[in-house]
Amino acid sequence: MGIGILALAGAFLLVAPLGLKPYGIFILSMWAVMTIAAIGLNLTLGYAGQISLAQAAFVGIGAYVTAWLTTKGAWPFWPTYALGFASCFAVGWILGYPALRVQHHYLAFVTLAFNTLVYLVFRNEEWLTNGIYGISNVPRPSLFGFSLKGGREFYYFCLANLVFVSLAAWWLIRSPWGRAFVAVRENPIRALSLGVDTRRYTLMAFAIGAGLGGISGALYAPLTQFVDPTPFALGLSLNLLLMVVLGGSGYFFGPFLGAIVAVLLPEWLRFAQGYYLMGYAVLVMVMMAFWPTGLLGLADRLLKK
Amino acid sequence: MAAAELLKFENVVAGYGKETILHGLSFAVPRGAMTTVIGPNGAGKSTAFKAAFGMLAVRSGRILFEDREITNRAPRELIGEGICYVPQGRNIFPELSVLHNLEFGGVAAPKGTDLKARIEAVMDRFAVLRRKARHQASTLSGGEQKILEIARGLLLQPRLMLIDEPSIGLSPLLVEELFALLRELRKGGITLLMIEQNAKRALENSDYGVVLELGRMRLQDSARAILSDPRIGQLFLGGGLSA
Q: What is the 3-state secondary structure (H, E, C) of B122-166?
A: HHHHCHHHHHCCCCEHHHCCHHHHHHHHHHHHHCCCCCEEEEECC
ipTM: 0.76
Please give the average per-residue pLDDT across B194-215, as a whole number: 92
User: Apex CA A44: angle with CA A39 and CA A47, to 5°?
Assistant: 85
Decide if A189 contacts A66 (C-beta within 8 A).
no
Digit-coded pLDDT (tens) for A68-121: 999 999 999 999 999 999 999 999 999 999 888 888 889 999 999 999 999 999
For residue B240, the model assigns a pLDDT of 39
- Is A176 touching B (CB cutoff 8 A)? yes
Residue A271 lies in a domain: no
Query: Confidence class of residue A275 from pLDDT cuts 50, 70 and 90?
Result: confident
Whether the model clears a pTM of 0.95, i.e. scores above it, the answer is no
For residue B150, the model assigns a pLDDT of 93
CA distance B116 to chain A (A): 12
Query: Confidence class of residue B239 from pLDDT cuts 50, 70 and 90?
Result: very low
Q: Lowest-confidence range among A253-267, A291-305, B131-145?
A: A291-305
Please give the average per-residue pLDDT across B34-40, as a whole number: 93
CA atoms of A294 and B53, how far apart (whole Å)? 39
**C-beta atoms of A193 and B85 within 8 A:** yes
Compute the CA torsion angle B219, B30, A190, B134 (nearest 10 deg): -130
Digit-coded pLDDT (tens) for A157-194: 999 999 999 999 999 998 888 888 988 898 888 898 88
For residue A69, the model assigns a pLDDT of 96
For residue B236, the model assigns a pLDDT of 61
Decide if B153 contacts B84 (C-beta within 8 A).
yes
For residue B3, the model assigns a pLDDT of 67
Query: Confidence class of residue A57 from pLDDT cuts 50, 70 and 90?
Result: very high
Helix or strand (DSSP H, E) at B179: helix B172-187
Query: Confidence class of residue A235 from pLDDT cuts 50, 70 and 90?
Result: very high
Residue A239 lies in a domain: no
The overall average pLDDT reported for chain A is: 91
CA distance B48 to chain A (A): 15
Residue A59 lies in a domain: yes
Q: Lowest-confidence range among A110-114, A163-167, A241-245, A273-277?
A: A273-277
Q: Which of A186, A193, A195 sits opposite B96 (nearest CB)?
A: A186
Decide if A141 contacts A222 (C-beta within 8 A).
yes
Please give the average per-residue pLDDT across A241-250, as a whole number: 91
- Is A125 touching B (CB cutoff 8 A)? no
Residue A16 lies in a domain: no
- Is A182 touching B (CB cutoff 8 A)? yes
Residue A304 lies in a domain: no
pLDDT more than 90, % of chain A: 64
For residue B242, the model assigns a pLDDT of 38
Q: Structural domain of residue A40, as residue ranges? A: 25-233
Residue A171 lies in a domain: yes
For residue A305, the model assigns a pLDDT of 67
Residue A264 lies in a domain: no
Q: Chains A and B: how many Cβ contacts under 8 Å?
A: 52
- Is B50 touching A (CB cutoff 8 A)? no
**C-beta atoms of A183 and B76 within 8 A:** no
CA atoms of A11 and A18, how far apart (whole Å)? 12
**C-beta atoms of B107 and A186 within 8 A:** no
The overall average pLDDT reported for chain B is: 90
**C-beta atoms of A179 and B103 within 8 A:** yes
CA atoms of B40 and A120, how far apart (whole Å)? 59
Residue A298 lies in a domain: no
When divided into structural domains, chain A yields a total of: 1
**C-beta atoms of A193 and B100 within 8 A:** no
pLDDT more than 70, % of chain B: 94
Please report residues of B whose CB lies closer than 8 A to that of A251: none
